[in-house]
Amino acid sequence: MNNMILFSQEELLYLLRTLNLPDLPGMGDKPWGHIPQEQALLVMETVGRGLLARQVIQFSNFDMKVEEDIISLLKTCTGPRQMLVLSYHQGNETIAHNFFRGETFDIEHDLPNPWVHRFQQTKKSDMGLSLLQSLTESAPDGPNSAVFEVNQAELDEIRQDAAANPEKAALALQSKGLPADEAVRLARAFAAPTLKMLVMAFQQLNPEPQGTVFSLLADSETTWVISAGKPGDPMVQARQVGKQELGKVILAAFQPFQKA
């Protein structure tokens, strides 16, 4: 297999369904998109012909076989030893990059165009460290604040209110215990973010997922790290960070990948 291969969303769905594998992060809640369910079988038949022409699949004695390299790639992506999911907003678009570490190679998965999936295989990657550092390079510097703990659902509601009324959001943050000046800064970041990013770094997936999940949020003046607790914990921790502290947060999240 080439080091890079591209599949359309429909081709990827065809292969995952054929191999009885789960969907990948970034495929969306409605992976068939605009295609009505009653037309899915017709689409699958057409997609199958395309994959056959590309020799990704073969038929022998009425049995279908998928190229072994493709099976290995998709099984690494759906059952990795380690995984990093990075999603961020660029204009009105949400960009997703996934990094999967298997036993013998790593896979980077992204969508260079809508409904087109790109897979790049390497012997060993940095699991997205350089990409994340590049994306946060322009994040503003500032002081480090104390940790502010708040219920995730309540913070999400405040975040939504901030777009229309940052003053109201600042008051709501104060009512949850955040000092007034920090509440104003966080509300402003919620209202007009220049950077909005989710990082899910799993150093281990079996027998149970273990890792770090946090969001990065910045406007023109401040940068914030919002860290999720353990699975099932409704509380999150938010704090303002300067450039140096942000770098430490990122390196700490990637440290387990460097040891592997």
Q: Per residue of the chain (260 residues), what is the pLDDT tens digit?
A: 568 999 998 999 999 989 999 988 877 766 666 677 677 777 888 888 899 998 899 887 778 899 999 999 999 999 999 999 999 987 778 899 999 999 999 999 999 988 899 999 999 899 999 999 999 999 999 999 999 999 999 999 999 999 999 999 999 999 999 999 999 999 999 999 999 999 999 988 777 778 899 999 999 999 999 999 877 789 999 999 999 999 999 999 999 888 65
Query: Which range marks the domain in which residue 144 is found?
Result: 135-259
Query: Is residue 90, in this structure, part of any structural domain at all?
Result: yes
pLDDT score, position 1: 56
Based on the fold, state whether residues 140 and 255 are members of the same structural domain.
yes
Based on the fold, state whether residues 251 and 145 are members of the same structural domain.
yes
pTM of the model: 0.89
Based on the fold, state whether residues 35 and 96 are members of the same structural domain.
yes
Based on the fold, state whether residues 76 and 155 are members of the same structural domain.
no
Based on the fold, state whether residues 102 and 168 are members of the same structural domain.
no
Domain-ending residue, one of 100, 125, 150: 125
Based on the fold, state whether residues 96 and 158 are members of the same structural domain.
no
Handedness of CA 133, 258, 94, 167 (dihedral sign): negative
pLDDT score, position 93: 83
Query: How far apart are alpha carbons 238 and 223 in whole angstroms?
Result: 11
178-185 LR contacts (CB < 8 Å, sep 24+): 178/148, 178/150, 178/238, 182/145, 182/148, 182/240, 185/221, 185/222, 185/240
Based on the fold, state whether residues 45 and 108 are members of the same structural domain.
yes
Helices (H), ranges, the chain: 9-18, 40-53, 68-78, 129-135, 152-162, 166-175, 180-191, 243-259
Q: Count structural domains, the chain.
A: 2
Domain-ending residue, one of 104, 125, 146: 125
CB atoms within 10 A of CB 152: 14
Based on the fold, state whether residues 120 and 190 are members of the same structural domain.
no
Based on the fold, state whether residues 62 and 178 are members of the same structural domain.
no
Query: Is residue 202, in this structure, part of any structural domain at all?
Result: yes
CA-based nearest residue to 123, from 102, 139, 151, 93: 102
Domain-ending residue, one of 77, 97, 125: 125
Query: Is residue 72, in this structure, part of any structural domain at all?
Result: yes
Based on the fold, state whether residues 215 and 155 are members of the same structural domain.
yes
pLDDT score, position 76: 95
Based on the fold, state whether residues 121 and 149 are members of the same structural domain.
no
pLDDT score, position 116: 92
Based on the fold, state whether residues 146 and 109 are members of the same structural domain.
no
Query: Is residue 130, in this structure, part of any structural domain at all?
Result: no
